[in-house]
Amino acid sequence: MTIELRLTDVDPPTAEPKRTIYRDIANLPDPTVLGVTIRYFNYDDVDLYMQITGSATGYTFTPANLGLLATGTNAYANLDNFASRAKPTVAQLPNGEMTENITLTLKGYTDSGYTDLKWTFERIVTVIWINSTDAAFTVDELDNFDDGTVQGWAVADELNNYTGYPTIAVATDYVLSTPYSCKFTQNNYAVYQDKELRGRLYKDFTTPNKTQVYAVFDLRLSISSGYGDSGWAKYFNITEDDVTKVHIGRDYDTEQTHYCPFDKWIRIVIPLTPNTLVTLKIIADCLAHHPAGYWVYLLTWLDDFKIISK
């Protein structure tokens, strides 16, 4: 194996765990798009120009040129809007579910024009579609914040908060179901230096004693500052207790580049451990920087959160 593609943070030579992407069709646009965070490796003794594409029935993929990867190294990339397909119909999800496979193909080229192909590596990823509004599922939790409260969610600092932050409140500026969403705000002062800013939104749940249990998150990340571009989104983590279930973006660095989707709603679906007490955490991370001192706000909205089971 001279190049490799992974979708987890598990390091070789440990085998890559099976990777399944869960998606909920409820209120999704049609067509719908798919984004994914990948990790790719170059084991060759020369630097390679890497490219990724995909294939699956009914999908359209946009190949992504990932640039030069040095010999013996690996890198992360978030592929936002990497693929699109017609939204599955309710009829295609008997009993509220449908399973399909997509093939991701990593290619290694010796030239910057991506013409001299040297290596390919394929990984099959399972996609499980659910319909959270199907009668087969019980809605065990619905937090839409429309009663004007944060419905038991709380916030905590992860790194470099300013006094009095993070904060949590209902909001009306960005919502999916009127009148309110839940808004988490982390804040610090960027004074002539790079600063990592991170916080979490969390809540405890007792999961139902069912065979299948899912949590559906609708999230929006944004960064605001007192002066232009002073913050760059690095990643979202969704964890069950301390186990990372989804990582979108890439680990923090000081590059003035966004690594995860921001300024738009995204949906994340994860399976939960049944019949137990769990703490679900939404962890957001960004780079705060400016050559003068300005406030940088890391903002996260949550709306129409669900736990469903059957």
Please check the confidence at residue 123 and state whether its pLDDT lies above 80. Answer: yes
Please check the confidence at residue 279 and state whether its pLDDT lies above 90. Answer: yes
Can you name the residues that pair with 108 across neighbouring β-strands? 50, 119
DSSP per-residue string spanning 276-293:
SEEEEEEEEEEEE--SS-
Confidence band for 33, pLDDT divided at 50, 70 and 90: very high
Asked whether the beta carbons of 219 and 300 are under 8 A apart, the reply is: yes
Asked whether the beta carbons of 157 and 255 are under 8 A apart, the reply is: no
User: What pLDDT sits at residue 239?
Assistant: 95
> Model's pTM, two decimal places?
0.91
- Summary mean pLDDT of the chain: 92
User: What pLDDT sits at residue 231?
Assistant: 82
Asked whether the beta carbons of 265 and 219 are under 8 A apart, the reply is: yes
User: What pLDDT sits at residue 229?
Assistant: 66
φ/ψ of 105, rounded to 5, equals: -120, 115
Give the tens place of pLDDT for each residue, 90-112.
Answer: 999 998 999 999 999 999 999 99
Element housing 275 (H / E): none
Asked whether the beta carbons of 52 and 63 are under 8 A apart, the reply is: yes
| Secondary structure of residue 148 in the 3-state scheme | coil
Q: Give the residue-averaged pLDDT of 144-158.
A: 96
Q: E-assigned strands of 62-166?
A: 64-69, 74-85, 97-109, 117-130, 138-143, 154-159
Confidence band for 292, pLDDT divided at 50, 70 and 90: low
Residue among 193, 111, 122 at smallest CA distance from 160: 193
138-309 maps to which CATH number? 2.60.120.260
Give the tens place of pLDDT for each residue, 184-224.
Answer: 998 876 556 788 889 999 999 999 999 999 999 999 999 88
Percentage, residues of the chain above pLDDT 90:
71
User: What pLDDT sits at residue 290?
Assistant: 66
User: What pLDDT sits at residue 291?
Assistant: 61
Rounded CA-CA distance 310/302 in Å is: 24
| Secondary structure of residue 40 in the 3-state scheme | strand
Q: Give the residue-averaged pLDDT of 270-284.
A: 97
Rounded CA-CA distance 42/39 in Å is: 11
Q: Give the residue-averaged pLDDT of 281-297.
A: 81
Q: Give the residue-averaged pLDDT of 9-17.
A: 88
Higher pLDDT, 110 or 292: 110
Please check the confidence at residue 9 and state whether its pLDDT lies above 90. Answer: no
Report whether CATH 2.60.40.10 matches the domain 3-130: yes
Give the tens place of pLDDT for each residue, 125-142.
Answer: 999 999 999 999 999 999
Confidence band for 164, pLDDT divided at 50, 70 and 90: confident
Please check the confidence at residue 115 and state whether its pLDDT lies above 70. Answer: yes
Give the tens place of pLDDT for each residue, 230-272.
Answer: 788 899 899 999 899 998 888 888 888 888 888 999 999 999 9
Residue carrying structure tokens 């909205």: 301
Where in the chain are the domains? 3-130, 138-309
50-59 as b/e: b if 16+ CB within 10 A? bbbebebeeb
Please check the confidence at residue 297 and state whether its pLDDT lies above 60. Answer: yes
Rounded CA-CA distance 53/63 in Å is: 4
Rounded CA-CA distance 27/267 in Å is: 11
Rounded CA-CA distance 142/287 in Å is: 32
